[in-house]
Amino acid sequence: MKKLLLLTLFFLIGSINAQSTKVSKARTYFNGGNAKSVEKDYYGAIADYTEAIKLIPNYTTAYFNRGLAKRRLKDYYGAIADYTEAIKLTPNYGDAYVNRGVAKENLKDYNGAILDYTKAIEINPNYGNAYFNRGLAKYYLKDYYGACIDAKKAKDLGYDSTRLINVVCK
């Protein structure tokens, strides 16, 4: 009985240490990805974020940051996939909605972008950048009235949207 208890305890300690090592390795890869992003080595950053995700499949910020790196490389579909995964893991991740909206906007999916910006605004009604980006997408759809309202709201929230206001609020 003592041997069984000791073996169980030894197994549990080993499992905890293995998990701790896994988390530590994932953080190392994540930090490496961040450093490579700063250096504009986006392919290297993507590789590091991918390794972090392999170790911790629910690593929300690794998906988000990998999406940022993919967007920098103009891999908008890949970025959207990563932002979508980050949103699945953390449904109230407003920045993921805004960045997914930006990627959609780059693909000229303005209606999809507006839906994402609107969701970010629902999560945080004081998100000036989301209002600005939604206003820009509305501008591309020739909804100048809606673009003007969003641009003014963004400005009220401290986001510099003067240029957009000057264009759409005539």
* Domains along the chain with CATH numbers: 19-85 (1.25.40.10)
Return mean pLDDT, the chain.
91
Q: What does each C-alpha distance from 125 to 91, 114, 119, 121 come to in angstroms? A: 16, 15, 10, 5
**Cα–Cα distance measured from residue 147 to residue 169, given in angstroms and rounded to the nearest whole number:** 8
pLDDT confidence of residue 8? 53
Q: What does each C-alpha distance from 124 to 42, 75, 161, 169 come to in angstroms? A: 29, 27, 18, 25
What are the pLDDT digits (tens) for 122-170? 999 999 999 999 999 999 999 999 999 999 999 999 999 899 889 999 8
Q: With 0-12 CB in 10 A as exposed, 13-18 as middle and 19+ as buried, what is 143?
A: middle
pLDDT confidence of residue 19? 57
- Average of pLDDT values for 39-62? 97
Q: Are 167 and 139 in contact (CB under 8 A)?
A: yes
**Cα–Cα distance measured from residue 67 to residue 71, given in angstroms and rounded to the nearest whole number:** 6
Terminal-to-terminal C-alpha distance of the chain = 84
Q: Please, which pLDDT band fits residue 114 given cuts at 50, 70 and 90?
A: very high
- Kindly report the pTM of this predicted structure: 0.87
DSSP label of 7: H
